[in-house]
Amino acid sequence: MNDPYQVIHDTTFRLLKKAVTELPSDIKEALETARNNETDETAKTQLSAILTNLEIAETGVPMCQDTGIMIFYVKVGAKFPFAGEIKEAITQACRKATKEIPIRPNAVNPIVGGNSGDNTGVKIPWINWEIVDGDSAQITAFPKGGGSENASIVGMLKPGVGLTGVKKLVVDNAFSYMGKACAPNIIGVGIGGGADIAIKIAKQQLMRPLNDKHPEPEVAKIEEELMDAINSSGIGPMGLGGKTTVLGVKVDYAMRHPASLPVGVAVQCWAARRSTAVISKDLKVTYLTHPLEGN
Amino acid sequence: MAEYHLTTPISEEAARKLKVGDVIYVTGEHVYTARDEAHERAIEMFEKGEKPPVDFEGSVIYHVGPVAWKKDGKWKIVSAGPTTSIRMELFEDAFLRDYKARILVGKGGMGKKTLAALKEVGAVYCSYTGGCGALAAKGLKEVRAYEWQDLGMPEALWVITAEEFGPLLVTMDSHGKSIHEEMDKLVASRKAEVYAKIGVKE
What distances in angstroms separate CA B85 from CA A95, A271, B63, B106, one per listed residue? Answer: 29, 18, 6, 5
B64 touches chain A (CB under 8 A): yes
What does the pLDDT read at residue A293? 79
Predicted pLDDT at B1: 78
Q: CB–CB of A66 and B183 under 8 A?
A: no
Amino acid at A280: S
User: 88-117 in A: which are within 8 Å (CB) of B?
Assistant: 102-106, 108, 114-115, 117
**Residue B1 in contact with partner chain A when CB distance is under 8 A:** no
The answer to whether residue A175 scores a pLDDT higher than 90 is yes
C-alpha distances in Å from residue A156, one per residue of A167, A193, A206, A256, B46 = 13, 11, 21, 11, 45
Tell how strand B3-7 and strand A285-287 pair up.
unpaired
Q: Tell me, yes or no, if B52 comes closer than 8 A to chain A by beta carbon.
A: no
Residues of B in contact with A53 (CB under 8 A): 81, 129, 131-135
Q: Which residues of B touch A242 (CB under 8 A)?
A: none
Q: Does A31 have pLDDT greater than 60? A: yes
For residue A1, the model assigns a pLDDT of 67
Mean pLDDT of chain A: 96
Q: What separation in angstroms does the CA of A175 have from each of A84, A151, A181, A245, B190? A: 44, 11, 11, 11, 10
- Identify the segments of chain B with pLDDT beneath 50: none
Domain chopping of chain B, boundaries? 3-197
For testing contact with chain A, the best of B86, B129, B186 (most A CBs within 10 A): B129
pLDDT, position B27: 98
How far, in Å, CA of B199 to CA of B81, rounded?
A: 38
Question: Residue A73: pLDDT above 60?
Answer: yes
Q: How far apart are CA B50 and CA B69, in angstroms?
A: 30
Residue A40, pLDDT above cutoff 80: yes
Our measurement of the distance from residue A155's CA atom to the centroid of its chain's CA atoms, rounded to an integer in Å, reads: 20
The answer to whether B3 and B23 have CB atoms below 8 angstroms apart is: yes
pLDDT exceeds cutoff 90 at A41: no
Residues of B known to be catalytic: 39
> Which CATH topology does B3-197 take?
fumarase (3.20.130)
Q: What CATH number was assigned to the domain covering residues A4-22+63-145+273-287?
A: 3.30.360
pLDDT of amino acid B153: 86
Q: How far is B161 from chain A (nearest CA, A)?
A: 18
Q: Is the dihedral of CA B96, B101, B103, B108 positive or negative?
A: negative
Cα of A20 to nearest chain B Cα, Å: 11
The amino acid that residue B98 corresponds to is D
What integer pLDDT is reported at residue B201 of this predicted model?
A: 87
Q: Which helix (H) or strand (E) holds B135?
A: helix B133-139
- Out of B186, B190, B200, the one facing A232 most closely (by C-beta) is B190
Euclidean distance between CA atoms A246 and B132, whole angstroms: 18
- Across the range A149-170, mean pLDDT stands at 98
pLDDT at A295: 47
Helices (H), chain A: 4-21, 25-37, 41-57, 83-100, 146-149, 162-177, 195-205, 217-231
User: What share of chain A in percent tops pLDDT 70?
Assistant: 99
